């Protein structure tokens, strides 16, 4: 089997499960460190000629991260594609379980078993309402029906924009502040929020700087995500 992954989290999943089948990945596939496979460009605009030259038996895509036009072009070229789009942690775990079967793994890998245990064993916690920006200039926040929003909800953080009509609303800063959140959650990807870039926009609101990979990726990082994110959320302090 020859697999090309156009999704960083799935690249990590394949590399941790059946590394011998992975022949290509995007330039953004940074995990695991030192991954030595052919690179095929970005997630939004991969070089499909490079993908096809690798003669893949399967190309992995995500409905949100990749373009429908690329999936259709690959199908038209006779290449099987597998498109994922989990909106909750259970959906992610199920889709990963289906993926490892499709890869021919003889059993669920340890990282997936550990992820299932980690998310099943979460203790109840204090519920806080948060604003969760994923970009600024302009501000973009998590809205309804997102994987990251479900991750936070399971850790006791309710997304204050979860009932919005859009999945990624673009409210103005005044509107964000007017919601009077208990917390602002600032991931380091896709926009790299830092202690000096983000918290100052929400004076008086506790700010939690969190790992974007653990908040938004669905793959081996899910095994350590609950403990890591809970610790990062617990360190939120006033700005």
Residues 78, 126, single domain; the answer is: no
Residue 95 included in any domain: no
What's the CATH code of the domain at 54?
A: 3.40.50.1980
Residues 159, 226, single domain; the answer is: yes
Residues 74, 138, single domain; the answer is: no
The count of structural domains within the chain is 2
Which domain covers residue 80, as residue numbers?
A: 3-85
Specify the pairing of strand 133-135 against strand 140-141.
antiparallel
What is the structure's pLDDT at 121? 86
Burial class from Cβ neighbours inside 10 Å (0-12, 13-18, 19+) for residue 102 reads middle
Question: pLDDT tens digits for 224-236?
Answer: 999 999 999 998 8
Residue 110 included in any domain: no
pTM exceeding 0.75: yes
Residue 105 included in any domain: no
Of 35, 62, 85, which residue sits at a domain end? 85
Residues 43, 144, single domain; the answer is: no
Per-residue pLDDT averaged across 30-35, rounded?
Answer: 94
Residue carrying the six token digits 């156009």: 6
Q: For residue 162, how many other CB atoms are within 10 A of its CB?
A: 18
Of 59, 85, 111, which residue sits at a domain end? 85
Per-residue pLDDT averaged across 193-205, rounded?
Answer: 96
> Residue 191 in contact with residue 136, Cβ under 8 Å?
yes
Residues 145, 228, single domain; the answer is: yes
């Amino acid at each position: 089997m020859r697999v090309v992954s156009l999704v960083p989290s799935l690249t990590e999943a394949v590399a941790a499960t059946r590394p011998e089948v992975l022949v290509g990945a995007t330039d953004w596939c940074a995990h695991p460190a030192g991954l030595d496979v052919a690179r095929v460009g970005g997630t939004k605009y991969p070089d499909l000629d490079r993908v096809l030259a690798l003669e893949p038996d399967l190309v992995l895509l995500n409905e949100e991260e990749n373009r429908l036009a690329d999936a259709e072009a690959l199908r038209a070229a006779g290449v099987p594609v597998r498109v994922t789009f989990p909106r909750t942690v259970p959906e992610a775990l199920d889709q990963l379980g289906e993926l490892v079967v499709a890869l021919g793994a003889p059993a669920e890998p340890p990282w997936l078993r550990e992820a299932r245990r980690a998310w099943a064993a979460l203790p109840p916690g204090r519920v806080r309402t948060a604003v969760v920006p994923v970009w600024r200039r302009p501000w973009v926040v998590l809205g309804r029906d997102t994987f990251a929003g479900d991750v936070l909800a399971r850790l006791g953080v309710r997304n204050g924009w979860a009932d919005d009509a859009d999945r990624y609303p673009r409210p103005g800063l005044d509107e964000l502040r007017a919601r009077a959140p208990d917390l602002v959650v600032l991931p380091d990807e896709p926009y790299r929020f830092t202690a000096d870039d983000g918290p100052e926009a929400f004076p008086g609101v506790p700010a939690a700087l969190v790992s974007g990979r653990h908040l938004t990726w669905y793959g081996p990082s899910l095994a350590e995500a609950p403990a890591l994110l809970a610790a990062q959320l617990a360190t939120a302090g006033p700005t």
